């Protein structure tokens, strides 16, 4: 079980209020991702749930029971830190055994769980090494192993992949998703990388300055962002925002169109502009189009290669049914 409920939780450090009253329910077995820009309070929120920080007011319930003033160890949650926080003077085996040793699990059971975890995480050959003798990815897996053996009711991850290189990050992303499918345990995952959020989450929580901007499945957030902030944050490259008379024609203060919902043409189209930088990814090309008279730059995603060069004129055709409309406060107009 791992149902976590936050009820009007707030957190202040001295005079600075980091988390204004916040309500959130995380259901058992869900993979929830907290995403938001740096400094928005993701880590703080996670640490509040973990019990590493005290809430200033409000209540945290775990499986229906009040856990607001419960010690971290009593909450049956396991956390994987950004720095991994492995114990450097202990072997991998002892690191993984540590929580079980503290809980008084008997030796035979410890051994069984360590071996199972090591097998699942490809660590069998490294059990007698020290953390200092492992690569970043291996350390990450040890940290996850240490969390698994406790059989917690929920896992908390704080940007666990941010110290890894891009290729490894993709791998570990898959491994963690796979782990979630096997264990079916609640996982709360903090990241500022919207790709991680989109690919891993059952439910994304978008935060800004401690506020929840929107909660929903990745596709809900992609298709129906509740406001301009979410619209700009989810999706890569970023959504284009256009204000002024064009927006007014659609009865909105701002309209938004994603780069993948615009087609570029050499001959004809609704909007006209000049090609700036073109980023060639092989599978796609991102065109940065200037001088459209709409906004500074419009980003367009073109499938495959595109013939136009820097300085050429290009015509753009937005897919009108994929247009997002926002009012003057930045809220979505249905």
85 binds another protein (CB under 8 A): yes
Residue 234 half-sphere exposure toward CB, CA atoms < 13 A: 30
Binders of ligand ATP among 185-204, rule CB under 6 A? Answer: 192
Measured on CA atoms in the order 33, 36, 37, 39, is the torsion positive or negative?
negative
**Maximum CA extent, the chain:** 74
Among 48, 47, 53, 61, residue whose Cα is nearest residue 3: 61
Q: Which two tokens stand for residue 143?
A: 């940290």
Per DSSP (E only), the strands in 150-281 are: 154-158, 186-191, 203-208, 211-216, 240-243, 254-257, 262-265, 271-280
Q: Among 5, 43, 185, 227, indicate the residue that binds Mg ion (CB under 5 A).
A: 43
Provide the minimum distance between the beta carbon of 39 and ligand ATP in the complex, in angstroms, as a whole number: 4
User: Which residues are paired to 271 by β-bridges?
Assistant: 316
CB atoms within 10 A of CB 11: 22
Comparing CB distances to Mg ion, the nearer of 43 and 185 is 43
Provide the minimum distance between the beta carbon of 323 and ligand ATP in the complex, in angstroms, as a whole number: 31
133 binds another protein (CB under 8 A): no
79 binds another protein (CB under 8 A): yes
Residues contacting ligand ATP: total by CB under 6 A: 12
5 binds Mg ion (CB under 5 A): no
Task: With beta carbons less than 8 A apart as the criterion, state whether 242 and 232 touch.
Answer: no
- Residue ranges of alpha helices (H) inside 33-133 are 42-50, 92-103, 107-120
Q: Among 81, 229, 271, 315, indicate the residue that binds another protein (CB under 8 A).
A: 81
Q: Among 146, 192, 288, 332, indicate the residue that binds another protein (CB under 8 A).
A: 146
Provide the minimum distance between the beta carbon of 296 and another protein in the complex, in angstroms, as a whole number: 41
Q: Among 4, 22, 26, 41, indicate the residue that binds ligand ATP (CB under 6 A).
A: 41
Provide the minimum distance between the beta carbon of 46 and ligand ATP in the complex, in angstroms, as a whole number: 8
Residue 121 and residue 286: Cα distance in Å, rounded? 37
DSSP assignment string, 249-263: HTT-SEEEE-GGGEE
For residue 98, the partner it binds in another protein, Mg ion, ligand ATP, none, with Cβ less than 5 to 8 A by kind, is another protein
For residue 102, the partner it binds in Mg ion, ligand ATP, another protein, none, with Cβ less than 5 to 8 A by kind, is another protein
Stretch that binds another protein, among 50-58, 173-181, 239-247, 248-256 (CB under 8 A): 50-58
Among 107, 175, 106, 181, residue whose Cα is nearest residue 144: 175
11 binds another protein (CB under 8 A): no
42 binds another protein (CB under 8 A): no
Residue 147 half-sphere exposure toward CB, CA atoms < 13 A: 30
Stretch that binds another protein, among 15-23, 71-79, 109-117, 290-298 (CB under 8 A): 71-79
Q: For binding to another protein (CB under 8 A), which residues are involved?
A: 50-52, 71-73, 77-79, 81-83, 85-90, 98-99, 102-103, 146, 150
Residues that bind Mg ion (CB under 5 A): 43
């Amino acid at each position: 079980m791992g149902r976590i409920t936050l009820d009007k939780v707030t957190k202040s450090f001295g005079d600075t209020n980091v988390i204004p009253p916040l309500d959130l329910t995380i259901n058992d077995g869900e993979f929830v991702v907290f995403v938001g820009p740096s400094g928005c309070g993701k880590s703080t929120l996670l640490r509040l749930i973990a019990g590493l920080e005290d809430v200033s007011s409000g209540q945290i319930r775990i499986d229906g029971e009040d856990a607001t003033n419960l010690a971290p160890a009593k909450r049956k949650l396991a956390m994987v830190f950004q720095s991994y926080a492995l114990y450097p003077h202990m072997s991998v085996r002892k690191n993984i055994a540590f929580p079980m040793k503290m809980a008084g699990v008997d030796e035979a059971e410890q051994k069984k769980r360590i071996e199972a975890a090591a097998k699942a995480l490809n660590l069998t050959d490294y059990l007698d090494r020290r953390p200092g003798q492992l690569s970043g990815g291996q350390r990450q897996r040890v940290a996850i192993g240490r969390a698994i053996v406790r059989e917690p009711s929920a896992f908390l991850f704080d940007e666990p992949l941010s110290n890894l290189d891009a290729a490894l990050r993709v791998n570990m992303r898959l491994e963690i998703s796979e782990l979630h499918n096997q264990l079916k345990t609640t996982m709360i995952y903090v990241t500022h990388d919207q790709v991680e959020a989109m690919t891993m989450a059952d439910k994304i929580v978008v935060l800004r300055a401690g506020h929840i901007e929107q909660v929903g499945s990745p596709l809900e957030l992609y298709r129906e962002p509740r406001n301009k902030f979410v619209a700009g944050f989810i999706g890569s490259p970023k959504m284009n925002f256009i204000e002024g008379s064009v927006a007014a024609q659609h009865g909105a203060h701002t309209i938004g169109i994603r780069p993948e919902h615009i087609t570029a043409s050499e001959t004809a189209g609704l909007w006209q502009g000049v090609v700036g930088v073109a980023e060639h990814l092989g599978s796609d090309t991102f065109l940065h189009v200037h001088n459209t008279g709409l906004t500074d730059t419009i980003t367009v995603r073109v499938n495959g290669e595109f013939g136009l060069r820097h300085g050429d004129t290009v015509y753009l055709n937005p897919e009108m049914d994929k247009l997002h409309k926002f009012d003057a406060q930045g809220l979505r107009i249905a």
